Amino acid sequence: MPSSLLPSRASAEGAPGAPGLPVPDAEQWISTTSSRIAPDPYTWMQAVHWAHDLGARTPVRSHGPRFGTTTVLLAQQLAQLNPCRPGVDFLARMLKVSTRTVKYHMALLRKAGLLAYRVKGTRVRHERARASEFARTIPSSFDQALGLRTAPSDTFIRAVVGVSEHGRTQLARLGKKAARTVLRQARRTKKPSFSASSDCTPMEGDSCTVSPTALTSSPSEDEPRNGESSSSPTRRGRTRKALNAVGRRYQLGLELVRQVPWLAGTPVARVAWAVRHLADAGWTAHEVIAVLALRAPSDRIHRPSGFLTARLVGAEKLFGTPAKRANLVAWWRDSRQASRERHAEWSGSWSAPRRNAVARLVREAFAASKPKPQLDELPQEPTDAELAEVRTLAWRQYLAGQPVLVTSAIAIAGQDSAEQFYGTDLVQRVVRLASASSHLTTGATR
């Protein structure tokens, strides 16, 4: 790259988004980044190769890997993802490197202003880990070095409206390197290729002589065929594979878990096993719900999958024909019980959130919603007799396995306040019981 296109040391030090220089963590988000969103993978790979050429000349890291060939190979994998939500293990398998190496080079792309967080990945206990989602961005130093003129845009933060003469040569050179990724995508997706006469000068909207809809052919006026044209390109749609017996069971089980309130949170595999005979007979979720509505619902269900199995015993023989099941569904939709269920609000035992950050937000929300008492309305301190009565009730709930008072106090006021009111011994016992095993629950009924 000519030295005239490289930013000077003084300008580079003043540009926080220059490649090779670390971008602050606060500017690595789509809402705070100074970069613009890349309109396509081809343009983004041009910026990646430019950052690679510049980073090889101006290294700033004293340890760890540099912006090199592995970084470019990683960017080629990211350019093929839509949306850009990669997993570290997936990228490590594709590049045949360690997960630590992938994390290092992902950090290099973020610090160079080429990636910005849309949603940061989470890792919550008892839940599946979620990968981070990124936006492919182009730093402002790339536009300045190549003489690209930009204007505000609602879609890309800034959109390119022109290019200087000295930047055309550099765009062509970088385009040859970026074309490798584009050609690889074209082979996989089998997109129609453009002719030589339809090429457009990069970043110059006025020099394009062919409409982007040139591939669409108009119907013939001599032989009208109701808008149908035999010369129009056709696309072969992917035929969806028919579900086998096991797939139908899981599909019916998933629909029941989503629609039946007391089955919420039940593993789909157990529900699929409970309704296996009905799924094999071609039953739908509405037909199963109608059978469940024949009997009054139970007030308390300890094991939802076992309760479901008991309710459906002999149902496939009693309603063996589609006509009988259709009459049953019609009765259920017109019944008063179904009407009450459609208009019933959610009700259930509230449990404190597991994550500490969410629990803190809940405590702050409770504190903000509680009206502040006036000086003359301050509650009086409880007497010794009242305090002893409340503690005795809390101990009885703990011995019964449902310390609702203590768990509610911990969730709302915190553990320190709960210990002052109910005693340190009782509160610590409840905390140990709740954290001893995931199979032991306190303060919640099913």
Q: Is the pLDDT assigned to residue 12 strictly greater than 70?
A: no
Q: Is the pLDDT assigned to residue 344 strictly greater than 70?
A: no
% of the chain surpassing 70 pLDDT: 69
Structure tokens at 116: 């910005």
Q: Based on the number of CB atoms within 10 Å of its own CB, is 70 exposed (0-12), middle (13-18) or buried (19 or more)?
A: middle
Q: Is the pLDDT assigned to residue 218 strictly greater than 60?
A: no
435-445 per-residue burial string, b: 16 or more CB within 10 A, e: under 16 = eeeeeeebbee
* φ and ψ at residue 383, rounded to 5 degrees: -75, 170
pLDDT tens digits, residue range 291-319?
888 887 677 788 888 889 988 988 888 88
What distance in Å separates the CA atoms of residue 82 and residue 398, rounded to the nearest whole number?
52
H/E element, 37? strand 36-37
Structure tokens at 275: 């309704």
Structure tokens at 35: 């970069």
Size of the chain in residues: 446
> Do the beta carbons of residue 410 and residue 427 sit within 8 Å?
yes
For the chain, what are the domain ranges?
Answer: 9-198, 245-343, 356-436
> Do the beta carbons of residue 56 and residue 67 sit within 8 Å?
yes
Is pTM, for the whole model, over 0.85?
A: no
Average pLDDT on 368-389 reads 67
Alpha-carbon distances of 184 from 3, 46, 92, 263, rounded to whole Å: 32, 15, 20, 47
Name the band, by pLDDT with cuts 50, 70 and 90, for residue 14.
Answer: very low
Q: Is the pLDDT assigned to residue 5 strictly greater than 80?
A: no
Number of Cβ within a 10 Å radius of residue 295? 8
